[in-house]
Amino acid sequence: MKKFFLMLAVAASAMSASAQEPKSGYADAKFWDNWYLGANLGVMSKATDQAVLKNLNPEFGIRFGKWFTPSVGLSAEGNFLFGNKTRGAQLTDPSLFHAMKMHLLGTINFSNAFGGYTGSPRSFEVIGLAGIGFIHNFGTKVEKKTNTQLNMLSSKLGLDFAWNFGSEKEWQFYVEPAVTYALGGAYNSQKIQYNSNTASLELNVGINYYFKTSNGTHHFLNITECDQREIDALNNTINSLRDKNAADQAKIAQLQAEIARLQKALRDCENKPAPEATYETPTIPSVFYNVNKSLITKQQAENVAVAAQILKNHPELKLNIKGYASPEGKAKKNQELSVRRANAVKDLLVKKYGIEESRITAEGCGTTKDKYETYENNRVAMLFFEK
């Protein structure tokens, strides 16, 4: 038993050293952070001189604790024993409450101590606990007759197999085998000792809730310092973005020059008498399609990109899209195809380039009625700017 406590002391000492983690380990926690509250229930039986499984006693407990680091913590636990078989049914009388236990427990998260803290609890963890407290025995007739001590010093050793769950792993379910020793005062013995004859075996299941902390989570939060390589990589990214920005500015200037040219052409058209031509002329290049298709090819998408840039630079403009189909198909099918071709351009502007849908109208005009002599040129969506 002394070796066991020595092992716990060494582990606690090692974890106390790890508690002095630098700022790159985990963010500093305030005193009111990393508290939890839970409840447990299970069964217990005297460790010797009776059949364990035949003399199980139910118990219920409440646990309140805090983690000082991801590896080291402290908790207080109170348990009520409801059974009457702590020393065999032949030696005890039926009673609702047989005993009450209070323990102050040091806790060690072995998963974090030896595996490192990953920034949030693992789904499964192993936690050791050990501490000291007292037991108050409410007493039965036999115990009172034999002058059995009703108050005694005690010690608890246990191991929690814990599962963390919840959206932020704020809940913890655990299975806990443990042993509780009645030390001085047990069975008329005043000597302080760990003796299996005055011990009880326990198996409890419980659930804990971790309160929210000042860092916005329910647990410790890791922080990571950047090294020089990361800083250099970020600087390279910034320089690349600057180069891209310069290239974009050149492209914008080119598009603005194109807009100025189109605006001048528009003013010139407004000052001229209306042309006799039957069909409108689009203000930017049209989008052509393959036969019986409404999918915009990569080459044709470049024309849509030009329209998108103009709309972004001139929020006062609106766009009218007219879709057409070549005249060799049936009229109903051509009408449906022309609608899909117009909507394909509109969808690309809205979804890829973020143009407001209210600024775009799309309509299917059916067949072009031989607008162009070459059939391929009639499979088209024409784009017109409006103020």
pLDDT tens column, 357-370 = 999 999 988 887 65
Return the pLDDT at 196: 83
pLDDT category at 121 given cuts 50, 70, 90 is very high
pLDDT of residue 10: 46
Range of lowest pLDDT (123-137, 167-181, 319-333): 319-333
Q: Output the pLDDT for position 373.
A: 57
Which pLDDT value is given to residue 372? 59
Mean pLDDT of 16-42: 70
Percentage of residues in the chain with pLDDT exceeding 70?
78
CB atoms under 10 Å from CB of 208, counted, come to: 21
pLDDT, mean of residues 270-287: 59
Q: Give residue 20's pLDDT.
A: 39
Residue pLDDT, tens place only, 141-164: 555 555 555 678 899 999 999 999
- Whether 240 has a pLDDT exceeding 70, the answer reads yes
In contact, 319 and 384? CB cutoff 8 Å: yes
Specify the pLDDT at position 156. 94
Nearest 5°: CA angle at 202, between 201 and 204?
A: 170
Q: Is pLDDT of 261 > 80?
A: yes
165 has pLDDT over 70: yes
Of 136-150, 269-283, 361-375, the one with minimum mean pLDDT is: 269-283
CA dihedral 244, 250, 256, 257 (to 10 degrees): -160
> pLDDT averaged over the chain?
81
Cα Rg of the chain (Å, integer):
40
Neighbour-count burial of 171, counting CB atoms closer than 10 A to its CB (0-12 exposed, 13-18 middle, 19+ buried): middle
Which range among 38-42, 145-149, 304-308 shows the weakest confidence by mean pLDDT?
145-149
Please give the average per-residue pLDDT across 170-195, as a whole number: 81
pLDDT band at 78; cut points 50, 70, 90: very high
pLDDT-derived band at 93, boundaries 50, 70, 90: low
Q: Which of 9-13, 137-141, 190-194, 236-240 has the lowest mean pLDDT?
A: 9-13
Beta bridge partners of 108: 72, 128
Report yes or no: 153 and 184 within 8 Å, Cβ to Cβ: yes
User: What Cα–Cα distance (Å) separates residue 365 from each residue in 33, 286, 320, 372?
Assistant: 67, 15, 12, 15
